[in-house]
């Protein structure tokens, strides 16, 4: 966003409509429930998803979370992601750069346009700033809907205490968010309630982490990983991606088991079930030394991510009453027979899953792809090749760097293929024994 700390004066003219919008906007920031009932998927199998915006997107945090989720947890959708975001961008600059850009070559079928943060400060009078933004935003939406493409918009991110005049800036963002919401309704676009999701997480985590908890951190403007977890969840909701990732039903006594799409039963015995999976749960580095990375789990828990997007359900039938020890990978937990019959979410109950290393390989490839997309978007290819190689960590692959200069989108496609190739079948076992029998 390239946000600048400056005093932005509000106009003193009486404007009842503006005051009403401000009141409604503040209510939406503080009381609007972010979660909604699952809707039919907005994304379709085979979609080409473009994530466009300013530096809130180009920092490659929520976009990385979303892309990792799509590639590792929802591979059956076969979604291809292209990130096209520039720090400091507003909608006027966005409209100027689209022709002849990677976006034009990519030809997205679904485009997320998350702009407005910088547009809000193009005039000290927020009403005038928003009106100019409205004109450009409508042009941008029309541009991508013209040939049957679908579009997603969003409310603004929160600024945190670390940002100079965050209270005043957040108030200005209310006007932008309200406009984005209205345009989404008028144009039939998807809409991500980012502000509401961040506020909901902030409110809940202040109760458990203390009143000074900060959902943004960093420079107060662009956010750390835990804040971008909230942003990603808002976007995943808007894209209709709520889903059960696995449903495994196991009858130990009968030696029978079934598994949903993306999972194959290899062996079902009286104490052990072995499966092969090509659909991963979303994995967290929950003991990471960096608090903002570790707290991604806390934000996910606060925003119901595990129920909406990360259900890896195990149902165990036919057990006699009592407690049982369940071992998944190297982790053990104890549950009652009644609880196992109702079903447990393995991805929630076992923070360290057998998929951790495999997920990380996909995650790294997805992140590298988005960094490459950033360089294509910024048109940095006129730079010295050694500089580009250094930015991408490709000092030892001069052939790839040279190809990037000649055919950047071909290199993008190869990066997508690398991410998909990293998704390999994972064999994992679930062992169940009576708790009294364990040592």
> Please, are residues 77 and 70 in contact by the beta-carbon 8 Å criterion?
yes
- Copy the structure tokens of residue 324: 């049982």
Amino acid 393: pLDDT: 66
Yes or no: say if 428 and 354 are a contact pair by the CB < 8 Å rule.
yes
- Residue 22 confidence (pLDDT): 35
Alpha-carbon gap, residue 67 to 371, rounded angstroms? 12
> For each successive 10 residues of the chain (439 residues), what is the average pLDDT?
33 33 37 41 91 94 98 98 93 89 87 94 90 96 92 94 81 94 96 97 96 89 92 98 97 97 97 97 82 91 98 97 96 97 98 95 95 77 62 66 74 93 98 77
With residue 323 as reference, give the H or E element that holds it.
strand 323-328
The CATH class for the domain spanning 16-238 reads: alpha beta
H-helix or E-strand spanning residue 2 = none
Q: Which two tokens stand for residue 355?
A: 């998929």
pTM for this one? 0.86
Q: Which residues of 411-423 are buried (b: 16+ CB within 10 A; e: fewer)?
A: bbebbbebbbebb
* Model pLDDT, residue 2: 39
Q: How far is CA 204 from CA 30, 33, 299, 304, in A?
A: 12, 12, 9, 12
d(C-alpha 251, C-alpha 253), whole Å: 6
Whole-angstrom Cα distance, residue 222 to residue 355?
Answer: 30
Please state the φ and ψ torsions of residue 192, each to the nearest 5 degrees: -100, 125
* Angle (deg, nearest 10), helices 385-392 and 398-406: 110
For the chain, which residues make up each domain, given as ranges?
A: 16-238, 244-439
Task: Identify the pLDDT of residue 218.
Answer: 83
pLDDT value, residue 391: 63
Helices of type H across 126-272? 126-145, 166-187, 194-209, 225-238
Residues 6+ apart with CB under 8 A from 20: none
Q: Which two tokens stand for residue 386?
A: 């050694």
Q: Hey, which residues does 85 pair with through a beta bridge?
A: 53
Question: Packing angle between helix 166-187 and helix 16-31, nearest 10 degrees?
Answer: 90
Q: Would you say the C-alpha torsion 72, 74, 80, 85 has a positive or negative sign?
A: negative
For 64, 68, 234, 282, 429, the CA distances from 353, given in Å and listed in that order, are 20, 16, 25, 9, 11
CA distances from 333 to 5, 314, 340, 344, 426 (A): 50, 13, 11, 11, 21
Q: What's residue 385's pLDDT? A: 67
């Amino acid at each position: 966003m390239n946000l600048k700390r400056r005093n932005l004066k509000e106009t003193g003219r009486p404007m009842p409509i503006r005051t009403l919008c401000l009141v409604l906007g503040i209510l939406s920031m503080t009381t609007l429930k972010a979660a909604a009932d699952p809707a039919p998927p907005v994304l379709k199998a085979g979609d080409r998803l473009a994530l466009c915006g300013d530096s809130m997107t180009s920092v490659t945090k929520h976009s990385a979370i979303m892309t990792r989720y799509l590639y590792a947890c929802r591979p059956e959708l076969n979604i291809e992601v292209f990130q096209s975001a520039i720090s400091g961008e507003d909608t006027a600059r966005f409209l100027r750069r689209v022709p002849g850009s990677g976006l034009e070559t990519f030809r997205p079928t679904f485009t997320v346009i998350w702009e407005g943060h910088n547009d809000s400060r193009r005039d000290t009078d927020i009403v005038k700033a928003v009106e100019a933004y409205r004109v450009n935003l409508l042009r941008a939406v029309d541009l991508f809907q013209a040939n049957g493409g679908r579009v997603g918009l969003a409310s603004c991110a929160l600024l945190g205490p670390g940002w100079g005049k965050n209270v005043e800036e957040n108030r200005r963002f209310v006007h932008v968010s309200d406009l984005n919401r209205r345009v989404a309704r008028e144009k039939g676009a998807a809409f991500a309630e980012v502000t509401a999701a961040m506020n909901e997480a902030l409110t809940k985590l202040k109760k458990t982490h203390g009143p000074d908890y900060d959902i943004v951190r960093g420079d107060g403007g662009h956010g750390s990983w835990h804040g971008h977890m909230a942003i990603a969840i808002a976007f995943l909701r808007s894209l209709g991606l709520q889903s059960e990732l696995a449903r495994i039903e196991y009858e130990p006594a009968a030696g029978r088991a079934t598994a949903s799409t993306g999972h194959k039963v290899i062996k079902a015995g009286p104490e052990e079930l072995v499966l092969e999976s090509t659909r991963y749960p979303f994995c967290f580095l929950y003991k990471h030394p960096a608090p903002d990375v570790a707290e991604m789990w806390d934000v996910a828990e606060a925003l119901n991510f595990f129920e909406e997007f990360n259900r890896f359900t195990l149902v165990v039938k036919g057990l006699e009453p009592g407690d049982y020890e369940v071992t998944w990978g190297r982790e053990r937990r104890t549950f009652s027979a009644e609880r196992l019959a109702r079903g447990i979410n393995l991805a929630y109950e076992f923070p360290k899953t057998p998929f951790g290393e495999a997920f990380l390989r996909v995650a790294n490839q997805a992140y590298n792809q988005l960094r490459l997309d950033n360089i294509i978007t910024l048109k940095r290819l006129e730079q010295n090749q050694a500089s580009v190689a250094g930015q991408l960590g490709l000092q030892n692959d001069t052939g790839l760097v040279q190809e990037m200069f000649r055919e950047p989108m071909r290199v993008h496609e190869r990066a997508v293929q690398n991410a998909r190739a990293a998704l390999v079948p994972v064999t994992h076992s679930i062992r169940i024994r009576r708790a009294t029998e364990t040592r």
